[in-house]
Amino acid sequence: MTILDDISPVLERQAIEVPSWAYGNSGTRFKVFAQPGVPRDPFEKIADAAQVHALTGLAPSVALHIPWDEVDDFAKLRDHAESLGVGLGTINSNTFQDDVYKLGSLAHTDPEVRQAAVDHHLRCIEIMGETGSQDLKIWLADGTNYPGQDDIRTRQARLDEGLAAIYDRLQPDQRLVLEYKFFEPAFYHMDVPDWGTSYAHCVALGERAVVCLDTGHHAPGTNIEFIVAQLLRFGKLGSFDFNSRFYADDDLIVGAADPFQLFRILHEVNCGDGFEPDSGVVFMLDQCHNIEQRIPGQIRSVLNVQEMTARALLVDADALVTAQQAGDVLGANEVLMDAFYTDVRPALADWREARGLPRDPMSAYKASNYQTEIERTRTGGQQAGWGA
């Protein structure tokens, strides 16, 4: 018997979607640092993502970003992914890089710009049909920088109209997943700044519209686990974008800044049955590896989520309820802290080994020489990165 025996069924089905853009060059608004061996096209991004799944068993699907991952033949890309043991997952739209979207996309004052944004999302839905993807994730950079720049109420009405046009084109087995962010790139107001605004739009759209919670998209001091609990109560938590933040939307490796927060979030996921197969919750990374190597960064990330999931599942639910109902404040807190401080890493190494996976995926990647090989062979051409 090991400490993981009772929770092994949940660990067995755990799946963490990795983002294609994590494997390309990225950076801050000050500098993008190129690295050797970075993918030159979406096919090479998929190959790198497949390494993460092969070594961890945790990352069976790859999210795509359009137009960054636009290809001539998505069926060919899908076959390529499946041949490497992974699938294509969420399709992410992009209406924040073209000059026409400087003052917004779906909430823009110009109906032609709004239609261009809708048309882009309809193209994303076409791609979903070609890749077998279930989710269309929408994050909007729309907002204003100055008071009086535009009418906030009217922008919400335009947004309603655009989202409805997109939602109406989804197939019965597809979902619209609406993300939010409280600031940046707009600084006076964002049109979808918080979970409540996203939730309100999703309720208006219908059952197949759900909220994406990005762990870096909140004001300092926000109780993110409370938001998780509420969205699970309402049946509207569609997905996570996991990352870490120290100051704002830092997009650092998940669990790097505050592993206890990640534990608390995953505890609420468990309390709300978010780990159940029919929950509809997709667990995804949304990170940029600006100074560290990309593939090891993704390996570390999915292992961090697995470790904190295991700790959250070890919370003694009966003891916790007993303490809560007795008003035992410190006793209830101690139940959580006991689980959080449990070192599950040796047990998880045994768990991996029993399933034919490396005990230490990070060391296994280093020993594989995959990094050396891609640095040798991926020369010439344009490296895939922001805007690629």
- What's the pLDDT tens digit per position in 113-149? 999 999 999 999 999 999 999 999 999 999 999 999 9
Cα separation, 114 vs 48, in Å, equals: 36
Cis peptide before 67 (omega within 30 of 0): yes
Over range 23-49, report the average pLDDT.
93
**Higher per-residue confidence, 359 vs 2:** 359
Using a cut of 0.95, tell me whether the model's pTM lies above it: yes
Q: Specify the residue for token string 């190129």.
A: 34
Task: Please name every residue paired with 71 in a beta bridge, in sequence order, or none if there are none.
Answer: none
Q: Do 385 and 25 meet the contact criterion of CB atoms below 8 Å apart?
A: yes
Name all contacts of 97-102 with Cβ < 8 Å and 24+ positions apart.
97/387, 101/141
Q: Report residue 333's pLDDT band, with 50, 70 and 90 as the boundaries.
A: very high
Lowest mean pLDDT among 25-34, 144-153, 187-196: 25-34
Q: 282 — phi, psi (to 5°)?
A: -100, 130
109 Cβ neighbours under 8 A, 6+ residues apart: 103, 150, 158
Q: Do 52 and 302 meet the contact criterion of CB atoms below 8 Å apart?
A: yes
Structure tokens at 260: 């206890």
Judged against a pLDDT cut of 90, whether residue 244 lies above it is answered with yes
Judged against a pLDDT cut of 60, whether residue 212 lies above it is answered with yes
Quick one: 12-312+361-377 is in which CATH superfamily?
Divalent-metal-dependent TIM barrel enzymes (3.20.20.150)
Q: Do 347 and 309 meet the contact criterion of CB atoms below 8 Å apart?
A: no
Domain boundaries, the chain: 12-312+361-377
Cα separation, 388 vs 365, in Å, equals: 26
Judged against a pLDDT cut of 60, whether residue 109 lies above it is answered with yes
Over range 197-215, report the average pLDDT.
98
